[in-house]
Amino acid sequence: MEIILKQDIPNLGFKDDLVTVKDGYATNYLIPKGLAIIALSSEKKKLAETIRQRTFKEEKIRKEAEKLAEKLKDIEVRIGAKTGTSGKIFGSVNALQLSEAIKEQFGLEIDRKKIMIDGDSIKEVGTYTAKVNLHKEVRPEFKFEVVGE
């Protein structure tokens, strides 16, 4: 029986996949639990339209992410922090401070949850690299420098 999955199912497929399973598995488990629907011709047409619209939206999002990645690639962010005599920072520099510094210095808004710093936080003065997860295919890196105030 051909069915259209409504959710990701391990070892079977992902949401909106058209798969063939045994009749009993579909009628006794997948369809009653709302995990799948029978793939009638009308449902296949709806699925094709949904996939077409989704790819259009994802392409638009990916292009916007690539534009932002081009801007991020060439920047170097400076973050000031209070330090002791040995160069250690009082506290730490994290993704939230990095996001705020990028907005303040370059006018680019980046969600702090998308910024990945090695080790989650920085505790010493120096130059570091961070990644930004803008899209599943677009992950630019940029440099930032932590300086003592």
pLDDT in tens, 97-107: 999 999 999 98
- The domain boundary residue, chosen from 66, 88, 113: 66
Q: Does one domain contain both 135 and 79?
A: yes
Q: Is the Cα torsion angle 107, 69, 137, 127 positive or negative in sign? A: negative
Q: Does one domain contain both 57 and 83?
A: no
Task: Give the three-state DSSP class for 132.
Answer: strand
Q: pLDDT tens, 47-67? A: 999 999 989 998 999 999 899
Q: Does one domain contain both 79 and 142?
A: yes
Q: Does one domain contain both 124 and 143?
A: yes
pTM of the model: 0.63
Per the structure, the count of domains in the chain is 2
Q: Which domain holds residue 131?
A: 67-148
Checking if the pLDDT of 121 tops 80, the result is no
Q: Considering only CA atoms, give the Rg of the chain.
A: 23
Q: What contacts 136, CB < 8 A, 6 or more positions away? A: none
**Range of weakest confidence among 24-38, 39-53, 72-86, 96-110:** 72-86
Task: Read off the pLDDT band of 91 (50, 70, 90).
Answer: confident
The string of DSSP letters for 69-106 reads HHHHHT-EEEEEE-B-TTSEEEEEE-HHHHHHHHHHHH
Q: Does one domain contain both 38 and 107?
A: no
Q: Does one domain contain both 101 and 73?
A: yes
